[in-house]
Structure 1
Amino acid sequence: MSNLLAVCLGNYCRSPFAQLALARRGGPGLAVRSAGLIGKWQDRPAHSAMINAARRLGYDLTAHRAQQISLDVLDWADTVLAMDASVLATLRAVCGPENENKLRLYLGDRDVPDPMGQDDAAFHECAVLIEVGTVLHTGGRIT
């Protein structure tokens, strides 16, 4: 069993969708959670435009409730996937050098752009990019 944690700024757009996509693509040997650096949307549903983008790709994001990152969930994770370089830098500061080996960018060498404040098309493009990126974390399996 491998534990993946997807992290974005608020657990409101990108990381909730990444959690769903990774769980679907990863199979039974992969446990996935998501969290945000800030608690602004704590216990609130995902952004409505991301819920709609997810639906268009065959996912149901309506049950999601935002969670702020905690030391417990960081300890749980074998791998922590940051949606962008800014989130990764904050995680490095929070996690300390002893956890550096489990921190990485979701797309390996580039950011997943934050769609906040943009139109529905930006949310859809973001979701597609996240779904394509699952290949990096699921052994290349797409089911």
Structure 2
Amino acid sequence: MMRKILTVCLGNYCRSPFAQVALTRRYGAAVTVRSAGLIGKWQDQPAHPSMINAARRLGLDLTHHRGRQITVGDLDWADDVLAMDTAVLDTLRAIDGGHTTHKLRLYLPGRDIPDPTGQGEDTFKECAMLIEAGTALHTAGRRQPSG
């Protein structure tokens, strides 16, 4: 059975789009990965230029990404909803109303992936490398423990 994974950050501008392409590369046809943001500030906009560059350095293409705001339908669609930080996770739990709480967890168990927005190129590169390393924690066929 194909896993459906949703990655979520604040704006769907840096972290969650990168996680989407990184997880897709790692698991290929075994998963369908989507990304979304809590806010619509970057709706229909490309990913942050510095994250596009960081992705390129790691052999990933973010140039086709367009930002989107999360919907309740996204939460229903996904088998796993991976929040990039605790604040995003808490907001997802509030939005969720208890219907899909079992699907919600941090992308990295027990650890936030800091938002690189407003930082320099090196911060984006570090963020991308952390997300890329974290892809190994997510298996295509079964749920990982909550974190």
The code of the aligned residue for 1:31 comes to T
> For structure 1, which segment, 11-20 or 26-35, has the greater mean C-alpha deviation from structure 2 after superposition?
26-35
**What is the deviation of 1:78?**
0.6
Normalised by the size of structure 1, how large is the TM-score?
A: 0.95
**What is the deviation of 1:27?**
2.5
Q: Is there any run of 5+ residues in structure 1 with no aligned partner, and where?
A: none
Matches within 5 A, 1:16-27: 16-27=17-28
2:101 maps to 100
Give, in whole Å, the separation in 2 of the partners of 1:27 and 1:138.
11
The code of the aligned residue for 2:38 comes to L
1:29 maps to 30
**What is the deviation of 1:28?**
1.1
Aligned residues of 2:75 and 2:100 also touching (Cα < 8 A): no
2:42 maps to 41
**What is the deviation of 1:97?**
1.5
- Number of equivalent positions: 139
SS at match of 1:63: coil
The answer to whether the aligner puts 1:137 opposite 2:133 as a matched pair is no
> Segments of 4+ in structure 1 off by > 6 A?
none
**What is the deviation of 1:100?**
1.0
The code of the aligned residue for 1:35 comes to A
Q: What are the Cα deviations for residues 72-98 of structure 1, in whole angstroms up to 9, with x where unaligned?
A: 111110100000000000000001222
1:52 maps to 53
Give, in whole Å, the separation in 2 of the partners of 1:107 and 1:72.
24
Give, in whole Å, the separation in 2 of the partners of 1:27 and 1:49.
25
The code of the aligned residue for 2:117 comes to M
Give, in whole Å, the separation in 1 of the partners of 2:6 and 2:36.
7
Give, in whole Å, the separation in 2 of the partners of 1:89 and 1:29.
28
Give, in whole Å, the separation in 2 of the partners of 1:127 and 1:93.
27
1:123 maps to 124
The answer to whether the aligner puts 1:111 opposite 2:147 as a matched pair is no
Give, in whole Å, the separation in 1 of the partners of 2:98 and 2:69.
21
**What is the deviation of 1:99?**
1.1
Give, in whole Å, the separation in 1 of the partners of 2:36 and 2:28.
21
Q: What are the Cα deviations for residues 45-70 of structure 1, in whole angstroms up to 9, with x where unaligned?
A: 00000000000000110000000001
